[in-house]
Each structure stands twice: as C-alpha cells, then as structure tokens.
Amino acid sequence: MTTHLRFDVQLNPQARSAAEREQVLASPGFGQVFTDHMVSIDWTEGEGWHDAKLQPYGPLVLDPATSVFHYAQELFEGLKAYRQPNGSIVAFRPYANAARFNRSALRMAMPELPEEAFVESLELLVQTDRDWVPTAEGHSLYLRPFMIATQPALGVNHPSRSYKYMVIASPAASYFTGGLKPVSVWLSTEYTRAAPGGTGFAKCGGNYAAAFVAQRQAVEEGCDQVVWLDAFEHRWVEEMGGMNLFFVFGDRLVTPALTGTLLPGITRDSILSLAAELGYTAEEGKISIEEWQAGCESGELTEVFACGTAAVVTPVGSVKGVDRSWTVGDGTPGPVTMKIREELVGIQYGSRPDAHHWIHKIC
C-alpha cells in the first residue's frame, strides 16, 4: 500500500466571498451547504492509491455503468472539526474513524486506505476551508469521507477494480431542529436493519438505503426516529437511525453490546470511558423492549439517550411500538444524560481537559 501520497492542490477561483460564507454560517442546518473544496484519491488494481488532490468542490462525471450505481459498493465516515476558544481547529478521534473506514472497506471488498492518508486528507481540506469552521456555540464543520466503486462494468463475479475516495465538508448546526428536546422513538418490528454475517457493523450506504422506509414509518407514527431491534425476535434493542443508545439505571449505564449487527460508534466508545470517570458504571449488555418498558414503569430505568457524531448526546423522551407506548422518566432531559453531554462537548470544544488525547489539532 502507498503510504506517502502527495496531494496536488488546485484552489477554487470561485470560492465564495466572506459575506456569502457568513450568510451560510448564520444558519447552516445539517449537510445542506458544502465548502469550497473537496479531496479525492483514486485507487486502481495494480497501481494502488494515486492521484491525490484537493480541488474546487463540484460535480463528478461518471459513466452510467459505474458499479456504485448498480451494486452500491460504497462506504462513508462522519466526523467533525471543532473551533477551539483560541480560534484553532481540532478533530475528535480521527484515527478511530480511519480504522472504522478500513473495517468497513474489508467487509465491502474495497481497498483499505492508510490511516495517515485518511487523516492527512481531512487536515488538508479543513486547513484550506478553515474559514468555514463555525464559531457559534454547538456548531461545527461536519466532515464526510467516502469511497465509491468506479469501474464501469456490470459483472458481479468480482468487486470493482477501481475506486475513488473523497472528502467533502459541510458546516453544521444541531442535527435535530428545535434544540435539545428529547426525541420520540418508534420500535421497528416490521423491518430489520442488519443480521449476523451482514453489513450492520460497516458504515455502508446500503444500510441507510434500507432504513429509509422504517424511518418514514416512524414519522408516520408521529415519532422522530426509528429504533432497530434484532433480526430474529424483534425484541433486543440494537441502535437508532444514525445513533447508538444508552440506558441509565440510576448510576449504571448499559449500551447494547457490539454483536456485529450495530455500528461501533466512536461517541459510544468515548462515553463508555467518560461515564466510568464521572463515577458511573458503564457496561455493554443486552436489553429487550420488555425490560425497557418495565424499567421505565417501575422507575428503575431513569434515562435513555442516543449518541453519535451528528446527534451528539440526545435524550429519548418517549417510545412507541405497534402495541405499546410509554414515557422515559418524566419525558425531559435527565441529569446523567446532561452531565455526559457536557463532558463530551466540553472536550470537543476545548473547555474540558482531554485526558485521553482524543483531540487532534488540525490548524
């Protein structure tokens, strides 16, 4: 594998003006507006990774037979760059995203990218578009590395023989509109996200394509988000649309164990460490929807929250399924959820000490 890639840099002659950028940054939404540049690196069989470049953000031209359009051989990552109090910019655990990118790549029969090249590609894009990193509280620059199969061929006897890796970036406000309001969730017993041996642990687009119908059903049922259950009994809680889940029993936190069918969230992993340091016990386990309901009804299960890069830490306020519905706690954000959120956000935005060296300075 090539480990020393040299990026060719082509700056955007039509980069937006400071005034245009400020207008976007005043209300960035999530994943709607992109910065002035993007990074790409190509891979071909025999040659490996080559043609690394930073160039103006813009459309791709691809043959209609390109294999990603037909067989969805694709994967992506998601992480954020945060503005620090002194104006510098950092990323949160980018090497953890690099490692997950490569685990997804192995599952999708795609080439691994050296972790250094992954992190270097993020650094180059963020340094170039640094003025796009918001300064407003709680805002950040969302980074979206991804890889697509680019061979124009319809055969399915072997994976694509060429790939394109890219990174794009988008200023982001809160993922959920309306601030830190607890979300309502729909238990999906009709659809399955992932089964053993499948792609649940990989961050591949197909997992999300198959999830839209259930997310739409959740909204039709009056809920914000879908909760995925296991494939066999539709009873054991796995995760949410784009987030992992934590269950709070007083000062004991439980999150579904990584069985291969759920995404190993980097936020989840960070919270497992932080919770222990904040004086809670934090463990990976198994939780059924019956235990979830009974725990809330008895008062033993005091809080539930979701976590992820986009969603940060978001309380779950109510639960609905085909034949049941209940409230978590009193339906408002609980103290454990808020304490964990403040600690995590404090590390990311540089107001709390970074004991784990999770913060990676970019510029």
Closest separation between CB of residue 243 and ligand COI, Å?
Answer: 7
Q: Which of 133, 187, 263, 282 touches ligand PLP by CB under 6 A?
A: 263
Binding track, positions 71-90, relative to ligand PLP; x by CB under 6 A:
-------x------------
Half-sphere exposure (CA, 13 Å, Cβ side) for 240?
30
d(C-alpha 89, C-alpha 361), whole Å: 6
Contact call for residue 359 and ligand PLP (CB under 6 A) = no
Instruction: For ligand COI, give the closer residue by CB, 78 or 350.
Output: 78
Q: Which of 166, 223, 243, 344 touches ligand PLP by CB under 6 A?
A: 243
Contact call for residue 256 and ligand COI (CB under 6 A) = no
Closest separation between CB of residue 235 and ligand PLP, Å?
Answer: 19
> Backbone phi, then psi, for 162, in 5-degree steps?
-150, 150
From ligand COI, ligand PLP, none, interface partner of 268 (C-beta below 5 to 8 A by class): ligand PLP
232 to 251, contacts with ligand COI by CB under 6 A?
242
Binding track, positions 174-193, relative to ligand COI; x by CB under 6 A:
--------------------
Relative orientation angle of helices 115-128 and 94-107, to the nearest 10 degrees: 130
Instruction: For ligand PLP, give the closer residue by CB, 149 or 243.
Output: 243
Half-sphere exposure (CA, 13 Å, Cβ side) for 12?
17
Binding track, positions 195-234, relative to ligand COI; x by CB under 6 A:
----------------------------------------
Contact call for residue 164 and ligand PLP (CB under 6 A) = no
DSSP 191: -
Instruction: For ligand COI, give the closer residue by CB, 182 or 241.
Output: 241
Q: Which of 188, 225, 302, 309 touches ligand PLP by CB under 6 A?
A: 309
Instruction: For ligand COI, give the closer residue by CB, 282 or 306.
Output: 306
Instruction: For ligand COI, give the closer residue by CB, 211 or 301.
Output: 211
Could you tell me which residues come within 8 angstroms of residue 309 by beta carbon, excluding any fewer than 6 positions away?
78, 79, 80, 92, 142, 265, 266, 267
Instruction: For ligand PLP, give the closer residue by CB, 21 or 93.
Output: 93
Half-sphere exposure (CA, 13 Å, Cβ side) for 246?
34
d(C-alpha 145, C-alpha 169), whole Å: 9
- Burial letters 164-189, b for 16+ CB under 10 A, else e: bbbbbbbbbbbbbeeeeebbbbbbbe
Contact call for residue 223 and ligand PLP (CB under 6 A) = no
Relative orientation angle of helices 335-348 and 266-277, to the nearest 10 degrees: 110
Q: Which of 145, 308, 317, 333 touches ligand COI by CB under 6 A?
A: 308
Instruction: For ligand PLP, give the closer residue by CB, 37 or 80.
Output: 80
d(C-alpha 104, C-alpha 107), whole Å: 5
Instruction: For ligand PLP, give the closer residue by CB, 99 or 153.
Output: 99
C-alpha distances in angstroms, 285 versus 247, 262, 282, 314?
A: 10, 13, 10, 20
Closest CA to 108 of 196, 239, 198, 212: 198
d(C-alpha 329, C-alpha 232), whole Å: 29
CB-count burial class (<10 Å; 0-12, 13-18, 19+) for 51: middle
Closest CA to 72 of 145, 170, 146, 143: 146
Rama region for 19: left / alpha / beta (φ>0; ψ in -120 to 50; rest) = alpha
Closest separation between CB of residue 239 and ligand PLP, Å?
Answer: 5
Q: Which stretch binds ligand PLP (CB under 6 A): 40-48, 103-111, 266-274, 312-320?
A: 266-274
From ligand COI, ligand PLP, none, interface partner of 172 (C-beta below 5 to 8 A by class): none
Residue ranges binding ligand COI (CB under 6 A): 78, 242, 308-310
Residue ranges binding ligand PLP (CB under 6 A): 78, 239, 242-244, 263, 265-268, 308-309
